[in-house]
Protein backbone atom coordinates (compact mmCIF):
# COMPACT_ATOMS: atom_id res chain seq x y z
CA UNK A 1 0.00 0.00 0.00
CA UNK A 2 1.43 3.42 -0.88
CA UNK A 3 2.62 5.71 1.90
CA UNK A 4 -0.11 8.28 1.26
CA UNK A 5 -2.86 5.65 1.51
CA UNK A 6 -1.48 4.24 4.73
CA UNK A 7 -1.27 7.72 6.26
CA UNK A 8 -4.90 8.31 5.27
CA UNK A 9 -5.80 5.12 7.13
CA UNK A 10 -3.80 6.30 10.15
CA UNK A 11 -5.80 9.54 10.14
CA UNK A 12 -9.08 7.59 9.88
CA UNK A 13 -8.02 5.28 12.71
CA UNK A 14 -7.15 8.21 14.96
CA UNK A 15 -10.42 9.98 14.14
CA UNK A 16 -12.30 6.80 15.09
CA UNK A 17 -10.34 6.40 18.33
CA UNK A 18 -8.44 3.33 17.13
CA UNK A 19 -5.15 4.49 18.58
CA UNK A 20 -3.52 1.01 18.79
CA UNK A 21 -4.24 0.35 15.11
CA UNK A 22 -2.88 3.76 14.09
CA UNK A 23 0.22 3.16 16.18
CA UNK A 24 0.80 -0.23 14.55
CA UNK A 25 0.43 1.23 11.06
CA UNK A 26 2.90 3.99 11.89
CA UNK A 27 5.41 1.51 13.29
CA UNK A 28 5.19 -0.39 10.03
CA UNK A 29 5.77 2.80 8.07
CA UNK A 30 8.78 3.70 10.20
CA UNK A 31 10.18 0.24 9.49
CA UNK A 32 9.65 0.73 5.77
CA UNK A 33 10.86 4.35 5.69
CA UNK A 34 13.41 4.59 8.54
CA UNK A 35 14.87 7.91 7.37
CA UNK A 36 11.55 9.75 7.25
CA UNK A 37 11.60 11.82 10.42
CA UNK A 38 8.02 13.03 9.88
CA UNK A 39 6.82 9.46 10.39
CA UNK A 40 8.80 9.22 13.62
CA UNK A 41 7.20 12.48 14.78
CA UNK A 42 3.71 11.14 13.99
CA UNK A 43 4.50 7.95 15.88
CA UNK A 44 5.62 10.00 18.88
CA UNK A 45 2.34 11.93 18.75
CA UNK A 46 0.44 8.65 18.80
CA UNK A 47 2.38 7.46 21.85
CA UNK A 48 1.46 10.73 23.56
CA UNK A 49 -2.20 9.84 23.01
CA UNK A 50 -1.42 6.53 24.72
CA UNK A 51 0.16 8.35 27.67
CA UNK A 52 3.59 6.80 26.98
CA UNK A 53 6.19 9.55 27.44
CA UNK A 54 9.17 7.16 27.23
CA UNK A 55 8.07 5.89 23.82
CA UNK A 56 7.26 9.40 22.62
CA UNK A 57 10.76 10.40 23.75
CA UNK A 58 12.23 7.46 21.87
CA UNK A 59 10.76 8.57 18.57
CA UNK A 60 11.50 12.28 19.12
CA UNK A 61 15.06 11.77 20.37
CA UNK A 62 16.71 13.11 17.21
CA UNK A 63 14.50 16.19 16.98
CA UNK A 64 15.72 19.59 18.14
CA UNK A 65 12.30 20.43 19.63
CA UNK A 66 12.00 17.26 21.67
CA UNK A 67 10.32 17.42 25.07
CA UNK A 68 12.77 17.24 27.97
CA UNK A 69 10.39 15.18 30.12
CA UNK A 70 9.87 12.63 27.35
CA UNK A 71 13.60 12.47 26.67
CA UNK A 72 14.30 11.86 30.36
CA UNK A 73 11.63 9.15 30.50
CA UNK A 74 13.17 7.45 27.45
CA UNK A 75 16.68 7.62 28.88
CA UNK A 76 15.50 6.35 32.27
CA UNK A 77 13.77 3.36 30.67
CA UNK A 78 16.50 2.38 28.21
CA UNK A 79 19.66 3.74 29.83
CA UNK A 80 22.72 4.54 27.77
CA UNK A 81 24.46 2.69 24.97
CA UNK A 82 27.32 1.80 27.30
CATH code of the domain covering residue 42? 1.25.40.10
Separation of first and last alpha carbons in the chain: 39
pLDDT at 65: 95
Number of domains forming the structure of the chain: 1
pLDDT single digits (tens) 15-57:
999 999 999 999 999 999 999 999 999 999 999 998 999 999 9
Q: Model confidence at 78, in pLDDT bands (50, 70, 90)?
A: confident
Domain that holds residue 12: 3-78
Could you tell me if 58 and 74 are in contact, meaning their C-beta atoms sit under 8 angstroms apart? yes
Phi, then psi, of 41 in degrees rounded to 5: -65, -45
pLDDT given for residue 1 in this prediction: 75
Amino acid sequence: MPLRDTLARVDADLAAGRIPVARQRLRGLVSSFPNDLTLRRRLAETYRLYGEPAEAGRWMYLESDRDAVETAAFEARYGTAA
